[in-house]
């Protein structure tokens, strides 16, 4: 009996440690809950990317997260290869994880945004206008060893049926405050008018 309890406790500790090192990503949760996941880049520049994280296909696509990413520039050269994949349309967290980084998210702000015609269209009319969507602005780091490399500040608005993986660690890094305000302003504008065709 003692040996069984010891093995159970050891397994629990290993499982917990693994969960901390490889946390679930937003894309994982969308795929698990809704049966599919895709990302389309709606617009992109050197500094800002707008992406629609959706479930479904073709005419049945429903936006589960509208994300505005403000990239940290200049970029650390260790992230160059992952950045190329991301800017080619790859999912940010999944691309960094595939490259061997641990993804660390730190909250800058929790708030809400109000939907307009832009998000209504992206949600395939599953959300009406003037709906309050939970919104989070956070800093995303790529962790290598003991070093957390800042990659982006991201503002995300979530479909009412979707809850992303929870994370509670916060940051008040003054270097990221301007980026957080910029990302949130951009997101609020996009709630009203969004180009629904993916960027080339």
pLDDT in tens, 20-37: 334 689 999 999 999 999
For tokens 């650390």, the residue is 76
Distance CA 150, CA 161 (A): 30
The pLDDT value given to residue 59: 86
β-pair partners for 113: 133
Mean pLDDT (whole number) for 169-197:
85
For tokens 């500040």, the residue is 153
Distance CA 50, CA 151 (A): 15
Distance CA 142, CA 96 (A): 7
The pLDDT value given to residue 191: 87
Distance of CA 108 to the CA centre of its chain: 14
Phi, psi of 87 (to 5 degrees): -70, -15
Among candidates 145, 179, 190, which has minimal Cα distance to 71? 179
Mean pLDDT (whole number) for 170-192:
91
Residue 130 has pLDDT above 90, yes or no: yes
Task: Find out whether the peptide bond into 37 is cis, omega within 30 degrees of 0.
Answer: no
Task: Enumerate residues 6+ apart whose C-beta is below 8 A from 35.
Answer: 55
pLDDT tier at 63, thresholds 50, 70, 90? very high
Distance CA 96, CA 85 (A): 9
Render pLDDT for 76-115 as a digit per residue (tens, 0 to 9): 999 999 999 999 999 999 999 999 999 999 999 999 999 9
What number of other Cβ atoms are within 10 A of residue 149's Cβ?
17
Query: What is the rounded (10 degree) CA torsion for 122, 125, 128, 134?
Result: -40
Residue 15 has pLDDT above 90, yes or no: no
* Helical (H) or strand (E) element with 20: helix 2-21
Structural domains of the chain ordered from first start: 23-192 (3.40.1410.10)
Q: What is the pTM of this model?
A: 0.84
């Amino acid at each position: 009996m003692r040996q069984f309890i010891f093995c159970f406790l050891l397994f629990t500790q290993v499982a917990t440690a693994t969960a901390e090192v490889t946390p679930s990503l937003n894309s994982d949760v969308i795929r698990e809950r809704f049966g599919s996941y895709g990302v389309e880049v709606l617009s992109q520049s050197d500094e800002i990317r707008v992406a629609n994280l959706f479930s479904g296909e073709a005419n049945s696509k429903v936006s589960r997260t509208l994300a505005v990413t403000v990239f940290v520039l200049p970029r650390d050269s260790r992230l160059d290869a992952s950045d190329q994949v991301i800017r080619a349309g790859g999912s940010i967290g999944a691309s960094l994880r595939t490259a061997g980084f641990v993804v660390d998210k730190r909250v800058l702000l929790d708030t809400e945004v109000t939907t307009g015609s832009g998000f209504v269209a992206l949600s395939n009319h599953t959300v009406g206008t003037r709906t309050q969507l939970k919104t989070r602005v956070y800093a995303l780091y790529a962790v290598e060893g003991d070093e957390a490399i800042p990659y982006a500040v991201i503002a995300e608005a979530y479909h009412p049926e979707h809850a992303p993986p929870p994370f509670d660690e916060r940051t008040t890094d003054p270097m990221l405050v301007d980026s957080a305000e910029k990302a949130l302003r951009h997101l609020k504008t996009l709630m009203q008018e969004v180009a629904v065709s993916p960027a080339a």
